[in-house]
Amino acid sequence: MRNRLFYRALLSSSLLACAAMSQPALAARPVKADAKAPPPPAPAPAVVETPPPAPLGKLADAVRPAAYRLDLTLDPAQERFSGHVEIDATVKESSRFIYLHGRDLKVAKASATIGGKTYPATWSQVDETGVALLTFAEALPAGVATFAFDYDAAFSDGPAGLFRVKVGDAWYSWSQFESIDARAAFPSFDQPGYKQPFTVTLRTPKGLTAVSNAPEIETREEGGMSIHRFAPTAPLPTYLLAMMVGNFAVVESVVPPTPQRATPLPLRIISTRQNKDKLAFALENSKAIVAHLEDYFGQAFPYPKLDQITAPIMPGAMENAGADLYQDNLLVLDDKASTGQKRAFGMVVGHELAHQWFGDLVTPAWWDDIWLNESFANWMGYRIGNAWRPDLNIGKGALEEGFGAMNTDSLLAGRPIHQPITTNAQIDAAFDTITYGKGGHVVAMIAAFMGDEKFKAGVRAYMAAHRYGNATSAEFFGAMAQVSGDPRILPAMQSFTDQQGLPLVSFTKNTDGSYTATQSRYARFGTTAPEQKWGVPLCLRMGAERSCQLLDTVSTKITVKGKGPLMPNAGGTGYYRFELPKADWDALIASSASLSGGEGLALADSLRASFMAGRASAAQLAQLARVMVANPDSYASDAAGDGLAALEGWGMLDAKAEGAYRAFVGKLYGPLLAKAGFNPAKGAYAGEAAEVSQRRAQLVGKLVNDARDPALRAKLAAAAQSWLDGKQEALDASWYRSGFSTWLDAQGKTGGGSLTAAKTLFERAIASQDPLLRPSLLGVIASSGKEDVATWILSDAKDKRLRLSERLQLVAGVASNRKTRDMGYDWIRSHLDELLGGSGGIFLASRLPQVFAGYCSVEKADAIAKDFAPKLAGKTGALELERTIERVRSCGKLKDARSAEASAQIAKLK
């Protein structure tokens, strides 16, 4: 809430004193009779002191913190917490006004002590983003100071600041401070450029476990409470501080010594009590990931212990130094878990632990460099996950995520990876697919072009130069340029990080068999992109012959030796799309079953993008689906039909074509599943090879959702009914979503009705704390497509046992399903103020507009702009709203122009 400021006008006591002393002196002077007496001095003017304008972005560095001492009382069963905080700092200039950070804190007492004198202060919050002002009755002198605060505040219901959740019969609390939510937990100078040690004391009810970044060094009882004291941390920014309290289940071990670390590293997995029997997998497998990272960075884990904690409403994970926080289902699994869940474990744990070096040990100086922090960790997560378990084929996921980011980067509304951030409202918007997907892909592209060893040497040099400090993108680029010995690397990297958009490399075939490659900015149908140029690390393959060069001109002639079709993105590591003459497209499509996984992803993305730009045909998309479905790599085979599925998802197919599409998918994937076999029972495929298991899951998804295969849907619905009847061995967790969704659909047609069935699933969800079952059941209800269920969700499903994040999940599901999205749209429009003013955490405002991205209509784009642009102007979600409006509008233009042609081609499929 924005607080109003009141300023006090003060007279200058020094001027008044001077005036009082001067009058008697003048009266005592001898005055000549004919001389005029001088006029009396004018009264001293009143001096009104007002603070400088509030900094709505970076603080002015008038105060530099040196150390924090936090003493907080945290009882998760209570709605509020309290604390005493001391901050040692240097005040650089004398002033009555100090800006710092605090959001929705009830500060009872604030002061600063300098040179043995304590100066009381008044506290006021001056901006809704958590900018606060300390006002002193007299000017603070410059010097070394200790600021002290006594305050209390409310726990959040969502994953922001200090938040709490009831799990079963017990309350737990966790912290989530990135990006600017530490200020909701304690008064602070809350920005990444300030790194200092924290000494934390947590007072909790007896018997609760407390966790922070450093090891706990003392626990004692006092006044009916347990006092947990932790060792001082290494220098950290505020956003990496961690504080968790609850009756946790804890399993512990050590990471054995490695060549980089002579002593064992204490390791714990910490979760809510109901997960206690499924923590061993994370405990044992985190050890290898730590060892792989130490080997890559060439140095020991930088903190004295590693805790990995889970929270049921955490969206993703957070790299708190020595105390990472994860969504439950990322760590709560066992050896029988699906390939998808194991892939997520390896990638996300690799990502968050990579941050312990790259982000925690060396931290961005300001939020405009957060892209480097997240992009590098994203690339490392896939790389290290792949090293941990090569059989899971985790590494290709980095390319899949990068190509996915191109769908955002192809819009005219957007931002570069590296962009100036001047206000607090812009910070959270930087945590998007451009930072993670595009950034990670660009890092991979540069690493592949430089060579792995040179790139690693640059990373190590950068880390050594800024250990326990802050650094910028320019310093990272400088380290890379120095080790590469190639002066073109720096401008090439910056061409991808400092301008938005992505290159389209168009190939034309010359009469001598060579190609001319021309770069431009890719644009979707109905849009015109500005002229841009990149330094594109272009790698081509023809047969077994591979050739790489830096395309830093608009156009160049390329001669590729080898036999076979031209693959313009060898290995799929390049962050660019390509366009080919029709004969070359057709030849490449015909060879797609034998492409590598990365190349298959690149082909699927570029062909789909060509259709979206108005060039490739729907028939070509269908032919790619027909051929590449046989690719042995699960990423490539899964991407084979994405372009064709997009036509159906956008509503571009008429009734006849939609029927032909479903029949085509059934004929394409049905025989493959029949060959692989399908048994929905629990553990039926435990121990099966990862790629085989993943492929089966993909086939089931295509046949259930796209082909709507009646026999398979009936089989899954029957298994779900058996599960509901108490035979829980009938349905494996891998099939929860497909099983219960087909059951709900069947009940709406032949059973007791969809609403009654939905309420049955709802009660089962609420009664469960299982990190896979509960969200699966709620997701099935939300995305049912049933109007009566949607009406109940939006109007009446307000059970107090629902968590805030789950309530939002239900609404988003209604708004995302084509059959109920108008209902969800109207509800969100009516409740927008409530949603934006709540405690949904870092991603809610920035991602909220994405629920409307399924529309495909020029008229709807105009409506979205009218209904939401005024409310989101200047807020975190403004950019995502612009993107959504452009997506919906350009899709509508494409639909108007090409749906008849596409429907005619798809209707002919056999």
Say yes or no to pLDDT of 11 above 50: no
pLDDT in tens, 465-501: 999 999 998 899 889 888 988 777 778 888 999 999 9
Provide the 3-class DSSP secondary structure of residue 416. Answer: coil
- Does the structure show a pLDDT above 50 at 13? no
Give CA–CA dist 462/438, Å, rounded.
Answer: 22
65-87 mean pLDDT: 98
- Per-residue pLDDT, 201: 98
Q: Which amino acid is at 735?
A: W
Annotated binding-site members for Zn(2+): 351, 355, 374
Using CA atoms of 391, 392, 393, 398 in order, give the dihedral in degrees to the nearest 10.
-150
C-alpha 828 chain-centroid distance: 22
Quote the CA–CA distance of 417 and 465 in Å, as a whole number.
Answer: 24
Q: What is the pLDDT of residue 846?
A: 67
Count of other CB atoms within 10 angstroms of residue 265: 22
* CA 71 to each of CA 87, 209, 210, 345, 729: distance values in angstroms, whole numbers, following the listed order: 12, 16, 13, 34, 49
Residue 385 pLDDT greater than 60, yes or no: yes
In sequence order, which residues have a C-beta less than 8 Å from that of residue 718 and are 6 or more positions away?
Answer: none
Q: Give the pLDDT score at 40.
A: 57
Beta-bridged to residue 109, according to DSSP, are: 150
Contact between residue 605 and residue 403 where contact means Cβ atoms under 8 Å apart = yes
Q: DSSP secondary structure string, 585-623? A: HHHHHHTGGGS-HHHHHHHHHHHHHHHHTT-S-HHHHHH
Tell me which residue of 393, 388, 394, 390 sits closest to 285, measured CA to CA.
388
Angle ∠(362,365,366) on CA atoms, nearest 5: 130
Tell me the pairing of strands 536-542 and 317-318. unpaired
420 HSE (CA, 13 A, CB side): 2
Whose structure tokens read 């435990």? Answer: 686
254 forms beta bridges with 266
Task: Give the mean model confidence (pLDDT) for residues 699-725.
Answer: 97
Tens of pLDDT, residues 492-509: 888 999 999 999 999 999
CA dihedral 279, 284, 290, 295 (to 10 degrees): -160
Name the pLDDT band for 49 (thresholds 50, 70, 90). confident
Cα-Cα-Cα-Cα dihedral sign, residues 270, 271, 275, 279:
negative
Distance CA 597, CA 606 (A): 14
Dist CA 339 CA 554 (whole Å): 43
- Rg (alpha carbons) of the chain, rounded to whole number: 31
Q: What is the pLDDT of residues 824-871, one digit of tens each?
A: 999 999 988 887 776 554 446 667 899 999 999 999 999 999 999 998
Predicted confidence band at 36 (pLDDT cuts at 50, 70, 90)? very low
Confidence of residue 29 (pLDDT cuts 50, 70, 90): very low
Domains of the chain, earliest start first? 1-153+187-204+211-220 (2.60.40.1730), 363-472 (1.10.390.10)
Give the HSE-up count for residue 741: Cα atoms under 13 Å, Cβ half-sphere: 21
Mean pLDDT computed over 780-806: 89
Instruction: Please give the pLDDT value at position 876.
Output: 80
Query: Residue 366, SS3?
Result: coil
Can you tell me whether residue 124 is helix, strand or coil? Answer: strand
Mean pLDDT estimate for the chain: 91
Reply yes or no on whether the pLDDT at 194 is more than 50.
Answer: yes
Q: In what order do the strands lie in the sheet with 555-558?
A: 555-558, 515-521, 503-509, 577-579
Q: For the chain, percent helix, then strand, then coil, each to nearest 5?
A: 45, 20, 35
- Bridge partners of 173, per DSSP, are 164, 245
pLDDT surpassing 60 at residue 6: no
Q: CA dihedral defined by 15, 20, 24, 25, rounded to 10 degrees? A: -20
Give the C-alpha separation, 906 to 611, whole Å: 14
Average pLDDT estimate for 434-450: 89
pLDDT band at 801 (very low <50, low <70, confident <90, very high): confident
Task: Give me the catalytic one of 178, 294, 352, 400.
Answer: 352
Tell me if the pTM is above 0.85: yes
Burial pattern 710-741, b for ≥16 Cβ within 10 A else e, equals: eebbebbbbbbbbbbeeeeebbbbbbbbbbbb
User: How far is 92 from 65, CA to CA, in rounded Å?
Assistant: 11
What is the distance between the alpha carbons of residues 19 and 41, in angstroms, rounded to a whole number? 7
DSSP state of 542: E
User: How far is Cα 494 from Cα 417, in angstroms, rounded to an integer?
Assistant: 10
Render the burial of 530-561: b for 16+ CB within 10 Å, e for the rest: eeeebbbbbbbbbeeeeeeebbbeeeeebebe
- Residue 335, token pair as written in the block: 């050896």
pLDDT digits (tens, 9 = 90+) for 97-145: 999 999 999 999 999 999 999 999 999 999 999 999 999 999 999 999 9
CA–CA distance, 602 with 571 (Å, rounded to integer): 8
763 is catalytic: no
State the pLDDT at residue 27.
32
For residues 400 and 344, give the distance between their C-alpha atoms in angstroms, rounded to a whole number: 14
Cα–Cα distance measured from residue 799 to residue 402, given in angstroms and rounded to the nearest whole number:
39
Residue 480 CA to residue 447 CA, distance in Å, equals 10
